[in-house]
Amino acid sequence: MDLEQNISRMTRRQFVTATGALFVLDSFGPRVRVTRGQLSGKLERGPGLSRVIIDTDPGVDDALALLLAMRSPELKIEAITAVAGNVPLELTLPNALRMVEIAGRSEIPVAAGAKAPLLRRLVTATYVHGENGLGGAAFPEPRTTAVAEPAAELIRSIVKKYPGEVTLITIGPLTNVAAALQSDSELAGRVRRIVMMGGSLSGGNITPAAEFNIYVDPEAARIVFQSGMPVTMVGLDVTRRTALTEEHVRALEAGRGGVSQAAAALARNAIEQHRRAGFAARPNMHDPLAVAAFLDSSLLKWKDYYVDVETRGELTAGETLGYSPRTGGSEQRSATEKQFPNLLIRGSAPTLASSESSSVLRDKFVPNAKVAVDVDSARFFDMLIGRLSGKQ
């Protein structure tokens, strides 16, 4: 079966079966409560932690997200998998290894993943993250080496070992995850949840339509959204409200230990890189917010959507479209929603040359994603700066 068939729409029976009962909000956060004392000094890890794999393309905010995850004792990080995105894989992989060493977590396996999107040429974001991916912040070459197993295979093997327990936290293009899904038809049913930084229901950041991670590999993103895995989408709708400030940087510079100092260097260079590039806004903490959303879902507000990805538009490829009885052309409100239980989800009108007789993609609304629509930015930064600085 070729890729175009893989990303084509599922049957209604397959889709409803896969997604009908997936959306219990409490199910995508960690299962343990951590005391303030556990967050100071040496991190203690024990049984009952949340198993996660972090797929990443460091990237300044990816690097800070990795440090946040490795400073969070709720998590059992089974692996970190690198993918090309913000910069090529030749840089994202050593950047991930650097963060592992800085955090003193060299026991975490780091794997190399895709060097390019499934069908497209790689588009990077060096204009945001600098030529080295870290905003110009210089760290020693990593001494730790990546594991031999490719990222997609490592994802498969870990999920198979712990069925129903592993959450994928994805903070880069979704190429590695899509490749794993394509190679194992049972994988989606074994993943507990995917929490992604990606997408937007309110316009893009690399084009007016598309958010960067989805834009880089829209075919991979569509495979993920249509896989049946429970999806938690932390997109630009909320990450745009997480601007890094000088006050945050000073708090990190005043913090204890190597993690805080490394984070401060990354944050300082991110702000300087934005100034050099001429951006009016300060850098946003897109990827750390996705990690924080998994750690404490109450930091954000959520709504159910059926999300799909535009893959064919010349101007809109990578756009994430959210369908809901409260959105789109119907504009139905709660008083009349009961009259429209089977909201049709439509694609574009058929062309004269098309053999299709209908543009209906789904004949019933079934959400496939929890989408973040609001965020308590102050509480988020309390967590981020507190954990990275060792003060929380």
286 an active-site residue? yes
The residue ranges of the chain whose pLDDT is under 50 are: 1, 3-28, 31-46, 328-333, 335-336, 339
pLDDT given for residue 356 in this prediction? 66
Distance CA 258, CA 269 (A): 16
User: What are the φ and ψ backbone dihedral angles of 292, each rounded to 5 degrees?
Assistant: -65, -35
- Type of residue numbered 185: S
DSSP conformation letters of 337-392? HTT-TT--EE-PPPPTT---S--EEESS----EEEEEEE-HHHHHHHHHHHHHT--
Interval 84-104: pLDDT, tens: 999 999 999 999 999 999 999
* Residue from 129, 248, 274, 286 carrying the catalytic annotation: 286
Distance CA 40, CA 74 (A): 13
pLDDT given for residue 325 in this prediction? 78
Which residue ranges form the domains of the chain, and what is each CATH number? 3-30+47-315+368-389 (3.90.245.10), 325-362 (no CATH)
Q: In whole angstroms, how far apart are CA 123 and each of 33, 94, 136, 166, 248?
A: 40, 19, 19, 30, 30
pLDDT given for residue 327 in this prediction? 54
pLDDT given for residue 357 in this prediction? 58
Q: What is the pTM of this model?
A: 0.86
Radius of gyration over every alpha carbon of the chain, rounded to an integer in angstroms: 20
Which two three-digit tokens encode residue 150? 């490719």
